[in-house]
């Protein structure tokens, strides 16, 4: 029952974390040193969502991997570039929007793909491939579309990706293969553990942002366009699921593509922008608000059903 609750109402954890961050920002600051640990364990848990034996046939997913990364790093960032210039005037906000759009697939995307009966292995391969591509794609495309509002090096991104992608996945594989009791535990309580760790991570990021940003100088009307763009980022692809389904002729793969592209790891953008350009971090922060809806399977399942019928 507990697992079912957390699977069905995952978005509540995001909302609760955001509210608590506003109320207790200094508690979030005290937990900030553990943020990287939570991120590591979230990636570790993603290794328990899939059947590793199916990854031997990863070559069968080459078309979908190329398509997914093309949408992730080219189509969506360029689309949001034009949209942000139409709705937003502050260059720092535009920078944050583009950075958030360029983030790789979210760590929990394979988990949600499984809940929605999609191809978990494809979602996992998109998670890994986009994470490995991101250090090379983000700096040049970000510079092209948004200029030099913050100087973030690819070396810094690459270091973080190495720590938070291959290493925890190797640990997950070893655990599944050789530690049956631990494997059974993590697999059984995956929804609860994902819920707690992601909520803690969002709580920390929002709480730290409370102390870095002077909200007296941020007008509420400036934030609404950011939220609208975040919602379009998360749900805009729904309009194209019908054509994608006709092209791929596989419902499970389409669901995996949607989840992997819409659920972005905006924690990367939030963390780095808080260091280099705190005001720009408001764009990925609004992305977490939109993610509260995206991480609610009851809503997403209904929208997917409508889009795939079309």
Q: Is the pLDDT of residue 215 over 60?
A: no
Q: What pLDDT score does 55 carry?
A: 78
Q: What pLDDT score does 53 carry?
A: 81
The number of domains in the chain is 1
Q: What pLDDT score does 83 carry?
A: 94
pLDDT tens-digit readout, 58-82: 888 899 999 999 999 999 999 999 9
In this prediction, residue 125 has a pLDDT band, given cuts at 50, 70 and 90, of: very high
pLDDT tens-digit readout, 144-182: 998 776 666 666 667 777 777 778 888 988 998 888 889
HSE (side-chain half, CA atoms, 13 Å) at 79: 15
Q: Is the pLDDT of residue 279 over 90?
A: no
- Where is pLDDT greater, at 51 or 189? 189
Q: Is the pLDDT of residue 230 over 90?
A: yes
Q: Is the pLDDT of residue 231 over 90?
A: yes
In this prediction, residue 97 has a pLDDT band, given cuts at 50, 70 and 90, of: very high
> What are the backbone angles phi and psi of residue 105, rounded to the nearest 5°?
-60, 145
What is the CATH number for 148?
Answer: 1.20.1530.20
pLDDT tens-digit readout, 239-255: 888 887 777 778 899 99
In this prediction, residue 57 has a pLDDT band, given cuts at 50, 70 and 90, of: confident
Identify the burial level of 86 via C-beta atoms within 10 angstroms of its C-beta, where 0-12 means exposed, 13-18 middle and 19 or more buried: exposed
* pLDDT above 70: percentage of residues in the chain: 93
Over residues 95-108, mean pLDDT? 91
| Segments forming the whole domain that contains residue 182 | 2-309
- Where is pLDDT greater, at 43 or 94? 94
Beta bridge partners of 264: 105
Neighbours of 249 (CB within 10 A): 8
Identify the burial level of 306 via C-beta atoms within 10 angstroms of its C-beta, where 0-12 means exposed, 13-18 middle and 19 or more buried: exposed
DSSP string over the chain: -HHHHHHHTHHHHHHHHHHHHHH-HHHHHHHGGGHHHHHHHHHHHHTTSS-GGGGGGGGGGHHHHHHHHHIIIIIHHHHHHHHHHHH---HHHHHHHHHHHT--B-TTHHHHHHHTT--HHHHHHHHHHHHHHHHHHHHHHHHHHH-SSS---HHHHHHHHHHHTHHHHHHHHHHHHH-HHHHHHHHHTHHHHHHHHHHHHHHHHHHHHHHHS-GGGS-HHHHHHHHHHHHHHHHGGGGGHHHHHHHH--HHHHHHHHHHHHSB-HHHHHHHHHHH-GGGGHHHHHHHHHHHHHT-HHHHHHHHHHHHH-
Length of the chain: 310
**CA geometry: angle 279, 210, 39, nearest 5 deg:** 90
Mean pLDDT of the chain: 85
């Amino acid at each position: 029952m507990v697992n079912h609750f957390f699977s069905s109402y995952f978005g509540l954890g995001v909302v609760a974390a955001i509210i608590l961050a506003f109320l207790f920002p200094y508690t979030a600051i005290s937990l900030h040193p553990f943020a990287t640990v939570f991120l590591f364990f979230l990636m570790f848990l993603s290794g328990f969502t899939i059947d590793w034996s199916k990854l031997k046939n990863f070559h069968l997913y080459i078309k979908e991997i190329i398509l997914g990364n093309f949408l992730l790093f080219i189509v969506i960032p360029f689309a949001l570039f034009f949209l942000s210039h139409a709705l937003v005037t502050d260059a720092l906000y535009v920078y944050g929007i583009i950075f958030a759009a360029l983030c790789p697939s979210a760590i929990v995307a394979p988990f949600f793909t499984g809940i929605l009966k999609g191809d978990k292995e494809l979602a996992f391969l998109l998670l890994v491939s986009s994470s490995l591509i991101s250090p090379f794609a983000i700096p040049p495309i970000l510079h092209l579309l948004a200029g030099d509002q913050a100087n973030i090096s690819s070396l810094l991104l690459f270091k973080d990706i190495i720590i938070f992608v291959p290493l925890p996945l190797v640990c997950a594989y070893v655990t599944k293969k050789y530690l049956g009791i631990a494997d059974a535990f993590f697999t059984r309580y995956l929804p609860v553990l994902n819920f707690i760790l992601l909520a803690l991570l969002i709580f920390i990021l929002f709480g730290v942002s409370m102390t870095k940003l002077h909200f007296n100088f941020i007008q509420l009307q400036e934030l609404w366009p950011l939220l609208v763009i975040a919602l379009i980022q998360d749900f805009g692809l729904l309009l194209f699921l019908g054509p994608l389904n006709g092209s791929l002729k596989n419902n499970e793969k389409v669901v995996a593509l949607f989840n992997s592209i819409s659920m972005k790891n905006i924690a990367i953008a939030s963390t780095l922008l808080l260091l280099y350009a705190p005001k720009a971090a408001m764009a990925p922060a609004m992305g977490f608000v939109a993610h509260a809806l995206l991480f609610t399977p009851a809503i997403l399942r209904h929208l997917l059903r409508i889009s795939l019928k079309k």
